[in-house]
Structure 1
C-alpha cells in the first residue's frame, strides 16, 4: 500500500531527523554538582560519647550511657532499634495508610510522566489526516473539474500522513527536559523527606505518649501518698496530736497535685489522636498500640555517618541540589529562546475522486516545508528573562548552601543534646531515688513525732518534682536519639519500599 510505504519512509526520515537533533549543541551552562563541604567532623572537637559521671542507670527501661559508632551506616528501618513491636507495627501502618505519603508518591509519578511527555518533543510527530470531500462544481458555461458539464456533483478522497518536526538545534527541548528531570529528582527526595518526616513523627509521638504516661503515673503516686498522709493527719487531729492548720496545709498540697492530673490526661488524649491521624485513621478509629517508657529500649550503640556523606544522605539537601540543576537548565532554556527556532513539516498521501483510485501511483502527492523564526526586536524581553533565570540559579545555589549548613547544624545539635542527656538522666534518676528514700524516712519520723508536718510537705513536693523530671529526662533522651537518626537522613538509601508506578494502560499506545 502507498500509505504504508509512505509511513515507513516518514519513520526513517523522522529517526534521521531525531538523531541530528540529539547531536546538536545545547546552549547554557552544563550542570556541575556542588562539592561536598571540606569538613571531617560535626562539632568543633572530636566526637565524644555521651557519659554520666556517676554511671547511674535509669529506671523503667534504658540506660543513661550511649556510645557513638562513627562511620556506621543508618539502617533503613531505624525505628526498630528501639526494640518495640508496637512501635514497629504503628510505623508500618502509617507508611501504608498515611495520605500525605500517598500524595508525595503521586507527585513523583506526575513529575516522571511530565519528563516522558517532554522527551517526545525530541522526535517527529506523525499524524494521519484522511479527508473525504463532497462538492458541487460550477456548471452552465463554466467548465467543471471533471471535464463534464453535465456532472456538477463529485467526491474527493484524500488520505494523507503529516510529519512535523522541530530540530532541537540549540538545545531548547533538551534543557527543558533537563529541568523537568531535575523537578522529578526534587520530587523524589521530597518523597524521601515525607517518608522520613512521617516515621520520625510517629516515633516522636510514641515517645511523647510514653512520657505523658510516666508523668501521669508519677502524679498519681504522689496523690496516693498525699492522700495517705492526709488520712493520717485527720486521725492525729481527732486525737489532738496536731493542729488543724497542718491538716489544711496537707489538703492544699493534695489539691495542687490533683490539679496537675487533668492537663496531663488531656495531653495524652490529644497525643493518641495524633498517633491515630499519622496512621491514616479517623479519631474514632483509635490505634490499639500504647506506649510506655518501660516498653522502649534506648539504642546504646548509635551509628553516626561520616560528615562527607551527609550531603548525599539528607533528603532536603538532595532536593535542594535538584533545584539548583533545575535553575541551571532554566538558564539554557532562556538562552535558547533568544536563538533561531526551526521546524520541518512534510505531508504525503493520495487524492482521487473514487476510493478505488487511491492506490493509483498517479494519485500520490507530497509537500515539504522548512521554516525558521528568529527574534529581531522584543524590547529586551528575552534578555531580561535570561538575566532573571541567571539570578534564579544564583538564588538556588545560595539556598542549597543554606540547607547544607542547616543539615550540619541539626546533626551537631542532636549530638550535643545526647551528650548532655546522659548526665541529665543519671542525675534525675539519682534525685528520684534520693527524694523517694528521704520522703519515706521523713514520714516514719513524723509518725514517731520527730519532725513536723511542714517537713513532710517539703519532702512530698521534692519527690513529685523529681519523679516528673526523671520521666521527662528519659523521654528527652529517647526523643533526641530519634532526632539524630532523622538529622542523619534516616537511612532511606537502605530501603526499597516506595510504591512502584502503576503499569501503563494507555489504550492509544500502539507504536
Structure 2
C-alpha cells in the first residue's frame, strides 16, 4: 500500500505543474503626456476615475440619449456581438468541464443471433439469445502537466476577450450614432442658414425686378438675382439629400427600417464639450479593444503550455461498474456484476514532427498576439493625438472663420444699401451675399467637425474623461 500512497502523493503534487511560460503582458512605453495641447496646457498624468457608460450625455441632447438607448435595445450588430460573447462563455464552460471526472451511464438490451460457423462456438450454445447490459463508466484525466488547466485558462481569457469585443462593438456603434447625429444636427443648421438666405435672395430678386421694370436696373442685374436664388435652392436641395442619407443611417443603427424612420429637424444646436486640461495617458488602459488584445496574448501564452504538455505522458483513471445477464436475472446480483479500475497512460513515441510543429505554432501565435496588442496601443495613442489636434486647430480655424462671417455680413449690408441708393451695380450685391453665405456655411461645417472630433476623442479614451488631480 505504501508505494501506491507515494504515487498518489506525487500525482497530486504534479497537478500543480504547468508547462506554460510565466505570463507578462507585452510592454510598451506610453507617453507621460500627449504632444498636442489643450487650451489649459499639456495633458499629464492624473488619478483615473471610472468612466460613464452614458458618455454622450456630455452633449446635453435628450434626443441623442433616446437614440442611444434604442441602439442598445435593437441594433442587430450588437445582438450578434452579444451572441458571440455567449458562445465564447459556453465554450469556456466546455473546457472547464475537463477538470472534473466524467461519468456516463449506459444500458443495452439486445436480442441477437450468432453465426453457426463462429469459431470456437460450443455445441450447447443457442443460436439466438438475449444479452442485457447496464453500467457506469468513469474517466478522469489527472492533468499532471497542466494541459487541461491551460486550456481552461486560455478559454477563460478568450471569453474575457469576447466580453471586451462586445464592449468595443457597443462603443463603436455608439460612436457611429453620435457622429451621424452630429452631422444631422449640422445639416439642420445648414438648412436654416440657406432658408434665411433664400428669403433674403427672394426679397433682393423682387427689388431688382421692381427696379428693372422701372428701368432703373439692367436685365443683367435681374438674371444675376434669378441665378443666385436658383443656386441657393440647389444648395438647399443638396443639404436635404445629405440629411436623408444621415437619417437613413441612424435608422439602421437603432434597428428601424429607413422607410419608416424619421427625425424632425433639430431646434437645438449642439455645443462642443469642454475638454479637461489634465488627462492621463493611462485612460487608454480601459479601452475595450486594448483589453481584448491583452487577453488574447494571455490565451496564446496558455496555449504554449498546452502544446508543451503534449510531449509528456498523459495519465488518466478509468473505471467500469455494471451488470450483464443473458436475458433474465437480476443485473445487480453478485454473479452478474462486472467492474474494472485502473490507470491509463498515453505516451507519444513517434509523430512525424507534429508535436514540435504544434509548439512552434503556439509560440508564433503568441508573438502575433503580442504584436497585435502593441499595435492596438499605438493606434489608440494616435487616435487621441489626432482628435486632440483636430479640436485645437479647428477651434482656431472657427474663430478666424467667425471673424470672416462678421465681416462678410457687414459687407453684404453695405452692398445692398449702396445698390438701393444706386451707387453700385447688382454684381457687388451678388458677390457680397455669396461670400456671406459661404462663410456662414464654412463656419457651420467647422463646428460640425469640432463636434465629431470631440466624439472621436471621447471614444479614443474608452468613453469619457473622468479624472482628478493626485
Shorter-chain TM range is 0.7 to 0.9
Deviation at 1:113, TM superposition (A): 0.6
Shift of 1:81: 1.1
Deviation at 1:192, TM superposition (A): 0.6
Match of 2:34 among 39, 42, 59: 42
TM-score between both structures, scaled by the size of structure 2: 0.87
Aligned to 1:269: 244
Specify the alignment match of 1:436 in structure 2: 409
Deviation per CA, 1:229-259, whole angstroms, max 9, x where unpaired? 2222222222222322222233233333232
Aligned mates of 1:350, 1:237 — CA distance in 2: 114
Distance in 2 of aligned mates of 1:162 and 1:364: 14
SS at match of 1:349: strand
Q: Distance in 2 between matches of 1:138 and 1:442?
A: 115
Q: Contact (CA 8 Å) 1:86, 1:289: kept in 2 or not?
A: no
| Shift in Å, 1:491 | 5.0
1:311-390 matches, cutoff 5 A: 312-353=285-326, 357-390=330-363
Q: Deviations over 1:113-138 (max 9, x none)?
A: 10011111122211112333446799
Query: Which of 72, 76, 85 is the matching residue for 2:62?
Result: 85
Give 1:299's aligned residue.
273
Task: After superposing the two structures, state which structure 1 stretch, 97-106 or 338-347, moved more.
Answer: 338-347
Pair 1:172-2:147 in alignment: yes
Per-residue deviation, 1:492 = 11
TM-score by length of 1: 0.81
- Aligned pairs (5 A) from 1:88-487: 88-134=65-111, 144=124, 155-288=130-263, 290-292=265-267, 294-300=268-274, 302=276, 305-310=279-284, 312-353=285-326, 357-487=330-460
Structure 2 CA distance for aligned equivalents of residues 184 and 388 of structure 1: 21
For the structure 1 residues 433 and 395, does the alpha-carbon distance in structure 2 shift closer, same or farther, using more than 3 Å as the test? same
| Structure 2 SS opposite 1:248 | helix
C-alpha distance in structure 2 between counterparts of 1:176 and 1:359, whole Å:
39
State the SS of the aligned residue for 2:259: helix
1:163, distance to aligned residue in structure 2 (A):
0.7
Q: CA deviation at 1:83?
A: 0.8
Structure 1 Cα separation of the partners of residues 389 and 216 of structure 2:
54
Distance 1:68 1:118, change over 3 A: closer
SS of corresponding position for 2:318? strand
Tell me the SS of whatever aligns to 2:187.
Answer: helix
SS at match of 1:441: helix
CA shift, 1:355, in A, is: 5.6
Aligned length: 453
Bigger drift between 175-184 and 460-469 goes to 175-184
Distance (Å, rounded) in 1 between the aligned partners of 2:422 and 2:151:
88
Residues 1:133 and 1:303: Cα distance change in structure 2 (over 3 Å): farther
Q: State the 1:454 CA deviation.
A: 2.0
1:25 aligned to 2:17?
yes
* Cα distance change of structure 1 residues 144 and 115 upon mapping to structure 2, 3 Å threshold: same
Alignment partner, residue 502 of structure 1: none
Distance change (3 Å), C-alpha of 1:347 and 1:442: same
* Aligned-residue offset at 1:346: 1.2
